[in-house]
Amino acid sequence: MSDLSRLLAERHVLVCVGPGGVGKTTTAAALAVRAADEGRRVIVLTIDPARRLAQSLGLDALDNTPKRIPLEGERRQKPPGELWGMMLDMKSTFDDMILDMTSPDRAEKIFANPFYQHISSTLAGTQEYMAMEKLWELHEEGRWELIVLDTPPTRSALDFLDAPKKVTDFLEGKFLRLLLWPYLQAGKTYMKAVSFGAKAFLKVATKITGSELLEDVANFFLAFEGMYDTFKERSKRVYDLLSARRTAFVVVSTPQDASLREARYFVQRLGSEKMPLGGVVMNRTHDVASVAGLEDPRGLAERARASGDGKLLAPALELYGSWREVSIREDAAVAASLGDLTDVPVWRVPDLADDVHDMASLRQVGEALLGPLPTIRATGESA
C-alpha cells in the first residue's frame, strides 16, 4: 500500500492546502472520490467561492448542508462507500458559532450590529477560521469516516494556520478598545451615567466619520465582552484536531517556482508547528522519459532534414525534444525546492488534456495519484 493509499484508508481528516490556481480543489475532490470508491464514508468541504468543487462533481451547486453525491456514474458496480459534499457559508457558520457560545438574546444583538454584519463576511482570515470551525463541527457529528477539507485560495498558504490568531487578536481588539474606552466605559454602566468624556468623544467621532460607525464598533465589543476566552478555547481544540495523528496535510503545488516556494515554506511551517504532513501533490507535470538514442533530438532533426528524410521525422523529434526539456526543467525545479526534504513523499499528476469537470475525470486524477482502483467484489464473491 502506498503512502497516499494509507492516508486515504486510515486518516480521519485530510487538509488540502496551497496557493490559489494549483488545482487544490480538484485534488481534494479526486481524493474524496477515491476514498469513497474504496469504501469509506466521506465528506468533502470546499471554501472555494468559484464553486469549482460542485462543477467538478458534476453538480450545479453545493451549499452549507451536506449533499450526497451519486458515485455510480460510469462504473458498472455500485461503489461500497458514500460521497457527500458541501460548500462553506462563512456568514452562517459564524452565526452558528456565536449561537453556540452565548444566549439567543445576546446572539440576536450581535447579529443586528452593523459592524458584526460587515466583519463576519469580510474580515481578513475569517474565511479560513470558519473553515476550521466547520471542520470541527463535522468531526463532532461522528458521521464521517473521512473529512476532506479544501482550504481557501490564499495569498499565502501560511495564512491558513495564522487565521485563528488573526481573528481572535482582532476580537480582543486591544487598540480599538483603547480608542473606544470612553464609550465602552459608558456602556458598562448601561448608559445610565454617560460621562462628559464619553459624550464628547462620540460627538467628535461622529462628526469625523459622519456615521454611527464607532458606536456600532463599541457596541460590538461590548456584546463580545467575556467571549474572548471561549474563542481562544475553540481555536485551540481545532488546532489540536489538526495536529492529531488522525489528520494529514496534503500540500498541493505545481512545478513552477512561485508555487514551489509556497510548498516548501508550508512543509517547513507544518514541521515547526508539529503538524502531520502527508506529502506533496505536484499537479500539471510533464513527465517525458529519456529514450536511448534520442539524447540530442534537435541534432537528429537537423540531420534528418539534411538527408531529405525530415518532412515527418524532424517535427516529431523537435516536439519530443521540447517536451523533454520541459520535463527536465520541472524535475530540476522540484529537486531544487524539495529535494533536501527527503522524507516528504511527492505524488505527481500529469497535465491532463481536458479540464477536470466530472466524476470520470476526477477518477482519472485519482488513478494518476494512486494507480488503478482495485476491483470491487460482488456480494458473496470470495477473495
Closest C-alpha to 22, from 313, 283, 357:
283
Per-residue model confidence as pLDDT tens digits over 68-120 = 998 876 555 677 899 999 988 878 888 888 888 888 888 888 888 877 777 67
Is the pLDDT at 56 greater than 70, yes or no?
Answer: yes
The residues with which 44 forms a beta bridge, in sequence order, are: 85, 148
Is the pLDDT at 373 greater than 70, yes or no?
Answer: yes
Is the pLDDT at 38 greater than 60, yes or no?
Answer: yes
DSSP-derived secondary structure for 160-180: HHHHHHHHHHHHH-HHHHHHT
Coil vs helix vs strand at 13: strand
Coil vs helix vs strand at 148: strand
* pLDDT at res. 79: 77
* pLDDT at res. 213: 61
* pLDDT at res. 201: 52
Closest C-alpha to 94, from 61, 67, 122:
122
Closest C-alpha to 224, from 162, 180, 192:
180
Most confidently modeled range among 159-168, 301-310, 320-329: 320-329
Q: Picking from 47-61, 85-99, 166-180, 263-277, which range would have the lowest pLDDT averaged per residue?
A: 166-180
The identity of residue 54, as a single letter, is A
* pLDDT at res. 316: 92
pTM: 0.79
Pairing of strands 13-17, 146-150: parallel
* pLDDT at res. 205: 52
Going from the C-alpha of 156 to that of each of 17, 87, 89, 258, 261, the distances in angstroms are 10, 21, 22, 11, 10
Per-residue model confidence as pLDDT tens digits over 39-51 = 999 999 987 666 6
Is the pLDDT at 174 greater than 60, yes or no?
Answer: no
* pLDDT at res. 130: 80
Q: How far apart are CA 290 and CA 259, in angstroms?
A: 26
Going from the C-alpha of 129 to that of each of 44, 246, 318, the distances in angstroms are 17, 20, 50
Per-residue model confidence as pLDDT tens digits over 331-368 = 999 999 988 887 889 999 999 878 887 888 999 999 99
Is the pLDDT at 204 greater than 60, yes or no?
Answer: no
Q: How far apart are CA 227 and CA 144, in angstroms?
A: 30
Q: How far apart are CA 9 and CA 7, in angstroms?
A: 5
Query: Quick one: cell of 13?
Result: 481528516
Higher per-residue confidence, 303 vs 342:
303
Q: Roughly how many angstroms between the first and final C-alpha of the chain, as a whole number? A: 17
Per-residue model confidence as pLDDT tens digits over 222-249 = 666 667 777 778 778 888 898 899 999 9
Is the pLDDT at 255 greater than 90, yes or no?
Answer: yes
Residue 190's pLDDT band (cuts 50, 70, 90): very low
Closest C-alpha to 346, from 261, 280, 278:
280
DSSP-derived secondary structure for 194-225: --HHHHHHHHHHHHHHSSSHHHHHHHHHHHTT
